[in-house]
Amino acid sequence: MKLTGAQIVIECLKEQSVDTVFGYPGGAVLNIYDEIYKNMDSIKHILTSHEQGASHAADGYARSTGKVGVVIATSGPGATNLVTGIATAYMDSVPMVAITGNVPVSLLGRDSFQEVDITGVTMPITKHNYIVKDVNDLADIIREAFYTAKEGRPGPVLIDIPKDVTANQAEYEPVVPKKVSRCSKNITTESIEEAIELIKNSKKPYIYAGGGVIISEAAKELKDFAEKVQAPVTCSLMGIGGFPTNDDLYTGMIGMHGSKASNLGVTACDLLIVVGARFSDRVIGKPDKFANKARVLQIDVDPAEVNKNILTYHSVIGDIKKVLQQLNDRLEEQNHTEWLSEIKYLKEKYPLKYPTDCVSAQYAIEKLDEITEGEAIITTEVGQHQMWAGQYYKFKEPRKFLTSGGLGTMGYGFGACLGAKVGNPDKIVVNIAGDGSFRMNFNELLTAVRHNIKIIVLVINNGVLGMVRQWQTLFYDERYSFTTLNQDLDYVKLAESMGAVGFNITSKDQVEDVFKKAIEETKPVIINCVIDKDDKVFPMVAPGKPIEDVIVE
């Protein structure tokens, strides 16, 4: 049957079982939006306040559900407003399809009104991108884009569609989507056997887990593996939730703001088993001192990550779930009682701690964990509050902690919170923000109110750009260059002016009551939690220092 390009877009989204898209209309995508209007019974559209918010919402939807997030924007500035969100998804391996409009094919390359070469702009931050100049190619490109976004190491894909292509007609026949299979072609018997020998010969094994565990749905396999190896487990920021943070084997985050027990343990281990992690500079500190007593066994789906930042002794390339299943099937249970006792001692000697004589972010987050029983989905912006969330909320399952790890995008959390709540309507979803990040995206509160998306935003308000100020205090002789906000903002009135509900927290005895009221509310909620401007995130490793050189206060 003959359909217009715009109709083909919608039919292909239905083929891929897309139930929600996030976006913002404009001239170049009017034909697509006209078809969205006609198909509102099968595809929900969430109109955000800004295209960047839409891209982060698609990202949060994808991370929290495991599905592909979809975002639509018009040409020119609409498309370029997606760039930060696409880059965020790319750095954290999030499956997303971004659909942008463009000027008609005949006007491409002529500096036409609202024309941007968005495929050129996004080439470094997408797995692949396309510009569709012939409507006859449109359906196959959309199908290929969804497959590419999901297969192997996931990531964002962009499809740029000139306006006349959405108006032209082509033959369309429905196609069952190609199934994405787990990457296993590089998993050899030899590589598995060598990994097992390394584990058997180790007396002090340590597991360092990253976001790949969550992406490959391998949380159960990782837990079984850790118990079989009898090894302690540390996670990168992106790996949080891939292993239960309330488990006895878990030692906390690793790296710049990792626990002292994790950093000292990894430094002392003789085998570091790296599962779905990429050795970020924020994890390894001084590279030649990182785990320098250990052989490194790396398990990853992406061969490009092996020997990129840290040289490995052995690697197994393939889907994390598949690799761990094979290891678990063949590996005998190990006994490392003495090593685990040593790590337990470090955990007891160097616990996380914070001042208890006043309201603090750490206390608020611990109380939020207690009240929600660790079952909420937590999104964050970027800064001190992000680290405190990773340290003090107890994530027992994957896809509950959504944060911008690779790009470090201030402004990510509010959009991600919206997307996560849309994808998980029965879950409590909380965005933990700093007051600096809140300034970047609070326009999306209008989106939450417009669509009645019942989220909670906990603003950790210290009146400064907290993490940058912390660095200025420690490394720049307290020269606070443009990090003091001093904004006289009434968060309660701001929330109410937009149709939401606001609360203030200025003392510890208010925390529990406010959280309970916020959870019971039927409208979006903003909580302004006031803390001291000089509260700091500890532990901390100074940049360029070995990770065992931990500042604890």
Q: Which residues are catalytic?
A: 51, 113-114, 163, 467
Residue 96 pairs with which residues in a beta bridge?
69, 156
Integer Cα distance of 274 and 353 in angstroms: 28
Length of the chain: 553
**Residue 347: helix, strand or coil by DSSP?**
helix
> For residue 262, what are the contacts with CB-CB under 8 A and spacing of at least 6?
234, 251, 252, 253, 254
Q: Residue 491's closest CA among 507, 509, 503, 506?
A: 503
Name the one residue in this structure whose structure tokens are 């007891």: 348
**Residue 51: helix, strand or coil by DSSP?**
helix
The answer to whether residues 21 and 70 touch, using CB atoms and an 8 Å cutoff, is: yes
The answer to whether residues 363 and 388 touch, using CB atoms and an 8 Å cutoff, is: no
CB count within 10 Å of CB 490 equals 12
Per-residue tokens: 511: 């925390």
Integer Cα distance of 67 and 53 in angstroms: 18
Name the one residue in this structure whose structure tokens are 């399809």: 97
Name the one residue in this structure whose structure tokens are 């590589």: 191
> For residue 265, what are the contacts with CB-CB under 8 A and spacing of at least 6?
206, 232, 234, 251, 342, 343, 346
Per-residue tokens: 199: 């584990």
The angle, 0 to 180 degrees and rounded to 10, between the axes of the packed helices 361-372 and 508-520 is: 40
